[in-house]
Amino acid sequence: MRFFGRGHGACPGCGLTIAVRNVLEALDGKCFVANSTGCLEIISSQYGKNAWGVPYIHSLFDNTAAVACGISEALKALGREDEGKVVVLAGDGATADIGLTLHGMFDRNHDVIYICLDNEAYQNTGHQQSGLTPLGEETTTTPAGKKMLGKTGRKKDMIAIALAHGSPYVATSSAVLPADIRRKVKRAADLYGAKYIQIHCPCVTGWGIDGKDVVKVGNLAIETALYPIVEFENGQLRTVRKIKDRKPVEEYLKLQRRFRHLFADPRGKEVIAEIQKIADYNAEKYGLDIKKE
Amino acid sequence: MMRVVRGFYSVAHAVKLCKPNVICAYPITPQTEIVVNLAEMYANGELQNCRYITAESEFAAASILLGASATGARTFTATCSQGLILMSEVLYNAAGLRLPIVIVNTNRAVSAPLSIWNDLQDSMALRDAGIIQLYVENNQEAHDVIPQAYKIAEDERILLPFMVCMDGFKLTHAYEPVDLLDQELVDSFLPPYKPKAYMTTKRSLAFGCYAPPHIYMEFRVAMQNAMERAKTIMENVFREWAEISGRDWGGHLEVVNPDAKAFVVAVGSVVGLLRKVVEDLQKEGLKVGLIKLRTFRPFPTEELRKALSEAEKIIVIDRSVSLGYEGNLSIELKSALYGMSAEIVSMIIGLGGRDIPKDFLEKLVRDALAGKEKSGFKGVKEFEEVIP
Ligand code: SF4
């Protein structure tokens, strides 16, 4: 609770806060935080009650990467680079949709660690779909009805986008893996340039889960291969989190209200099969399965 | 050192002398040459302790400067038209964050129809953003105003973005003799930017918090107060500048023929032409004065009321319009002169770079003085209205 915490207003069990605390601890608080509009900003930045123990700026929803570039460049111009790392903390909507102007940061390779806190929807406005909302999820803008069964498109592959831009460090992690977050943030801090880390952050309210199930659900996302935990350096895949006995996606989906309709509606079977295909593809692509002898 | 230079160079040179720490740019005509000149200076090592960033859009350029300014850097960018509109979300934000970013806006018409030519619609659209706006008449004034802009914007009693508005092409691309400042003079006038509050790990301050209803209004009031304070502070800076440079551009406004009963009011480069028009009309025996309005925000209401207290007729030269109402400058003037009896005629001219020949302007003013010209668009051709 040294750098973030006191007085924040997150829902009990929220994955964001775990992720943020570990990011800041990994950097020992020696960092500048640029935060986009969203859940994290709203729960932590009320005037007079802000929860930050590090220099913090919130500007807008759509420009956090650029603001961070400005901080990074100003530190250079002013000869203050040793003061700390520049870190973006942005939600999935702010990253993959409105703020995908992030490409400028990648393109110019500013020394910034960009962290996408991926709770897979616009949770702050009450659970609307974003580019990182997965297939089949019911949100208030992709409801399950007679014609449509939740989100129709796939989750945008931000990892591929970051890699395509030549980012020196690209990784995923999860709020349920605090040690992994800390290690990856430290590694990112050691490398120069525009780094991208995407952290899966279970959202109790939006996903419709019990606070006590956050860890279980977060782990199942990994164990089903729906959220592959990977790490790239200079475009090369360095580590993946292997899966011993990959679980079927149903196990993950059935615990969450956001996928409930897939089990209630007969057409849900097809969607679940599609989701399983995505998991299989991830497992294959990154070699996630530990092969049995 | 007197040299014949184009407007964009006179700006770039002045910016260099102000020693900005972060310059960020996205090209847009007719602004581009300003940042191209700065890039050249940067490439040649003439800008010390400075980072020059080529952004992916004006939106990003403004955002990068916002982050840099919050970190304690002196910042600069130039833009206009769609670029300024694209920046507008960020600029409103920068004003609220009280960041003294200096922008040169090379005034240009906005789309549609697409036009790269000059009018004042772009900056007028940002009237309410909490940005100081000053309009210059010529390239020497543009040059001189840059160090003053930093000094004013960075004054801790103000801390607001500052936009220098200069007419696109008419000034930016025009050759004029300009007495270029030297580093010593600028250094003696403009201290380095040392904000009290900035992003540093030595002291973890939070910028850009959200304000619930019990406190939001107070922040807006604080901005309004800063604008109010800016009026006096700007006057002092203008005076100081006149003393050290020997060039007096007036205060918030300049009045020619203060005893006249009829006045023409305008901003920007058209003032240069109006000086001649007024002079010639005087020779004909028509007594007419001229008010060059320099600061548009904060708006110098008191000064205008004083200068126009005896006026019977006021001719406002507008080069932008609030569609659905009337010329922007005339709206402002009517509001400022509320309760006074002078007749105000609003002439909307020169939109989208339409030529403003001296004869045309002179006829307009003469006819308005004679009561033969009413408010409205002037110099418009017959045109079949297109309704899609
Ligand atoms: S809505 Fe979700 S992301 Fe937002 S604070 Fe609550 S649990 Fe966290």
Do A73 and B202 count as a contact with CB atoms less than 8 A apart?
no
Contacts of A23 (CB under 8 A, 6+ apart): A87, A89, A115, A181, A185
| DSSP one-letter code for A111 | S
**Average confidence (pLDDT) over B24-37:** 97
Q: How confident is the model at residue B386 (pLDDT cuts 50, 70, 90)?
A: confident
Say whether B210 and A41 touch across the interface (CB within 8 A): yes
**Residue B240 clears pLDDT 60, i.e. is over it:** yes
Q: Kindly report whether the global pTM for this prediction surpasses the value 0.90.
A: yes
Task: Tell the residue nearest (CA) to atom 5 of ligand 1.
Answer: A10
Min Cα separation B130/chain A (Å)? 16
Q: According to the model, what pLDDT value does residue A236 have?
A: 98
| Contact call for A101 and B59, based on CB within 8 A | yes
Chain B residues with CB within 8 Å of chain A CB: 21-22, 24, 49-51, 53-57, 59-60, 63-73, 89-90, 93, 97, 199-212, 215
As a whole number, mean pLDDT of residues B75-79 equals: 98
Is residue A185 helix, strand or coil?
helix
> B298: cis peptide before it, omega within 30°?
yes
pLDDT for B322: 97
Residues of B in contact with A79 (CB under 8 A): 49
CA distance B106 to B33: 11
Q: Which residues of A touch B24 (CB under 8 A)?
A: 70
Q: Of the candidates A47, A63, A78, which has its C-beta nearest B211's C-beta?
A: A47
- Geometric angle at alpha carbon B183, from B181 and B185, rounded to 5°: 70
Select from A119, A213, A214 the residue to mutate for testing ligand 1; criterion: most ligand atoms less than 8 Å from CB.
A119
Of B51, B60, B210, the CB nearest to A73: B51
Residues A123-143 pLDDT 10s: 999 999 999 999 999 999 999
Q: B157-196 pLDDT, tens per residue?
A: 999 999 999 999 999 999 999 999 999 999 999 999 999 9
**Interchain CB distance below 8 Å, A71 and B57:** no
- Confidence tier at B269 by pLDDT (50, 70, 90): very high
CA A203 to ligand 1 centroid distance, Å = 5
What are the residue ranges in chain A where pLDDT is below 50?
A: none
Residues with a CB atom less than 6 Å from ligand 1: A 10-11, 14, 16, 39, 43, 119, 123, 203-206
Cα(B198)–Cα(B175) distance, rounded to whole angstroms? 40
Residue A162's Cβ-side half-sphere holds a number of Cα atoms within 13 Å equal to 28
Q: Do B51 and A54 touch (CB under 8 A)?
A: no
Give the distance (Å) from ligand 1 centre to CA of residue B18. Answer: 46
CB B139 within 8 A of CB B178: yes
Residue B212 — φ and ψ, nearest 5°? -70, 170
Comparing CB atoms, the residue among A58, A63, A74 nearest residue B68 is: A74
User: So what's the pLDDT on residue A153?
Assistant: 93
- For chain A, the farthest-separated pair of C-alpha atoms sits apart, in whole angstroms, at 63
Give the dihedral sign, CA B70/B71/B74/B77: negative
Percent of chain B with pLDDT over 90: 98
> What confidence tier does B387 reach under pLDDT thresholds 50, 70, 90?
confident
Over range B303-330, report the average pLDDT: 97
Average model confidence (pLDDT) across chain B: 97
